[in-house]
Structure 1
Amino acid sequence: MKALNTVMGLALAGLAILALGTAMAMWYETLRVNTYVETGEVKVAWADWQCSDEGPDPQLPDSDFHNDEGKDVAQCIVEPEVYDGEGNAVKVNITLMNAYPGYNPVITLTVENIGTIPVKLLNYDLTDGGYDNQALSVTITVPEDTQLHPEGTHDITINIAVLQTASEDSTYSFGLEFTYAQWNEVP
């Protein structure tokens, strides 16, 4: 019996060596992959800006205010204030000078996607300063679909009305902030 166990053990060892020899003699080839991931860039800038006050002062519609004489008393100035490192306007300054009750300029700001992936408007908000809704009425209008593909643009309008309750010889200030995010993160 001992001899039979020894013979069977040797036979199994021989089969194992034979199988190992076959595996060692097998031809093979390995394929490899190098992977590089380059991410896109979310980047927007103000591409254009303008004010509706380009002559006689615009007046608040559907009100007792009028400018039938075509007076050009107030002034609306829209100019870039901050640029990014590449020279793109990322903040504009809107200044209304010599404004008075009934004065109603509409500012149009053009946003451009200067990044590499589509973006959407995530949110917008009044920021800096103390917005006085007793002296000013501000209405912001954004497109229904704010998605911008690279090099795409859309307009945002800011309608500012100086109300009857505004004080003489006063300064009112406020800021607006528009935040854009990659399109698939905005509901």
Structure 2
Amino acid sequence: MKRTSIISILVIMAFAMMGFGFAMWSDTVAISASAQAGDLKFHYVSGTADSKDIGGDWTCDYGLGNVCVTPEGKDVGSTATSMEDTNGDGFQDKINVAVNNAYPCYFNDISWWVESTGSIPIIIQGAKLTWGGAEYDIKSGKLYILCQDRDNGTYNLFEVPSGQMGRLADYYEEVDGMIELKWGDNVGLQLHPHESVEQSFTFHVVQPAQQDTTYNFGLSIQGIQWNESPIPGHRP
């Protein structure tokens, strides 16, 4: 009898344990969770625009080489910069440039800082140049010529072909080139939130430029979410 009782108790305990285990395996646990998407914000830092021309004018050779102060020490040309919020999000994303009293051989180097203020890392992709009311994609380290037809005033922009490098003065005359320009900073750089980096471009007024003319153009840097970038990112 004692043995039978013990066996009965063990069977009951076994079923109880099985029932308990089954209840654990088949229970439903409801999990309530919320996910907030990050934001992508990339803007120019106010007050950081800087110009090489802060006194006597600078000059250079065609192709932006051999930069130096003008031998005559003249202080005639000037460059004014301003920052603009183009999409109304409260952040400045474009730098506007006005080249005043321009004359052939006038050179300048403009720099400013951009900052990632969102919660998602970004990778710098390239730049867009605004000239004559149109917007153009420009590549890092390439030489461009900003053109304005001297007969009808229409605007254009060209990447200077490598085959023209040895005859830039003639080429600029043929295409009514007014300003040669080059940008090329930090393409592929990955900026984390609250990190900033300096950007810059150089330009040179060339021979076909008109007298008593102010030339206006703008530059905006393009950034994209780090995991959607078509180019590999790198850290500073």
Bin the TM-score by the shorter chain.
0.7 to 0.9
Query: Normalised by the size of structure 2, how large is the TM-score?
Result: 0.60
Q: Is the 8 A contact 1:58 1:67 kept in 2?
A: yes
Counterpart position of 1:36: 34
Amino acid aligned to 1:45? H
Q: Is the 8 A contact 2:100 2:214 kept in 1?
A: no
Q: Which residues of 2 match residues 106-117 of structure 1 at below 5 A?
A: 106-117=109-120
Query: Sequence identity, in percent?
Result: 29
Amino acid aligned to 1:124? A
Larger-gyration structure (1/2): 1
Amino acid aligned to 1:115? G
Q: Is the 8 A contact 2:185 2:199 kept in 1?
A: yes
List runs of 5+ in structure 1 lacking aligned partners. 1-21
Amino acid aligned to 2:194? E
Distance (Å, rounded) in 2 between the aligned partners of 1:60 and 1:173? 20
- Asked whether 1:81 is paired with 2:60, we answer no
Note the C-alpha offset of 1:27: 5.0
> More deviation in 100-109 or 64-73?
64-73
Counterpart position of 2:222: 179
List runs of 5+ in structure 2 lacking aligned partners. 1-17, 135-145, 148-156, 158-176, 232-236
Note the C-alpha offset of 1:175: 3.3
> Which of residues 158, 168, 181 is equivalent to 1:138?
181
Q: Which residues of 2 match residues 25-174 of structure 1 at below 5 A?
A: 28=24, 30-47=28-45, 48-61=48-61, 67-82=70-85, 87-129=90-132, 131-132=146-147, 134-174=177-217
RMSD over aligned Cα, in angstroms? 3.0
Number of paired residues? Answer: 166
Deviation string, structure 1 residues 115-159 (Cα, Å, up to 9, x no partner) = 111101233232341631611101002115421111111122110
> More deviation in 110-119 or 90-99?
90-99
Counterpart position of 2:137: none
Distance 1:146 1:38, change over 3 A: same
Amino acid aligned to 2:196? T
Amino acid aligned to 2:44? W
Counterpart position of 1:4: none
> More deviation in 116-125 or 99-108?
116-125
Amino acid aligned to 1:52? K
Amino acid aligned to 1:76? T
Note the C-alpha offset of 1:179: 1.8
Note the C-alpha offset of 1:31: 2.6
Distance 1:30 1:138, change over 3 A: same
Distance (Å, rounded) in 2 between the aligned partners of 1:92 and 1:66? 25
Counterpart position of 2:14: none
Note the C-alpha offset of 1:58: 1.3
> More deviation in 132-141 or 59-68?
59-68
Distance 1:101 1:128, change over 3 A: closer
